[in-house]
Amino acid sequence: MRLLIQRVAKGSVSIDGETVGKTGPGLVVLVGVTHSDTAADAEYLVNKCVNLRIFTDENGKMNRSLLETGGTMLAISQFTLYGDCVKGRRPGFDLAARPEMAEVLYETFVKLVRETGVHVETGRFGADMMVEIHNDGPVTFLLESRPK
């Protein structure tokens, strides 16, 4: 499982011109799922994501987590995080999980984040979405679940 997390001043996701989710200040998290992922991968990444100290403290140091700041999250499913661009000019997506599996693990990720007390809004799995991200810093990290 891969997460591309961005610390944001604000973010939103729209479908057909209608805003369906928003956040800020907090995180926009793009969530990718591969074939071998399990609920344990989602649990590991939720713990990592909400506790990662990437928000500034009173001294301007990255020393506070999403939980500590009371920030919110916008979680978006993103199968292209498993796009393979090594060969040719067209990405291959063989590493991305099938939609029926990916959706279950994406929903598991969102549920587990909510259980930490973080307010989470989402896009719509499989929809064509317009995501607006106001990256703060910019601060962006790629997190991956533990090797299997």
Q: C-alpha 96: how far from its chain's center?
A: 15
6 is known as an active-site residue: no
Report residue 27 as tokens: 């995180």
Q: Which of 23, 55, 72, 79 is catalytic?
A: 79
Q: Which of 23, 34, 72, 78 is catalytic?
A: 78
109 is known as an active-site residue: no
Q: Cα(35)–Cα(70) distance, rounded to whole angstroms?
A: 33
Instruction: List beta partners, residue 56.
Output: 62
Q: Are 134 and 27 in contact (CB under 8 A)?
A: no
3-class secondary structure, 118:
coil
78 is known as an active-site residue: yes
Active site residues: 78-80
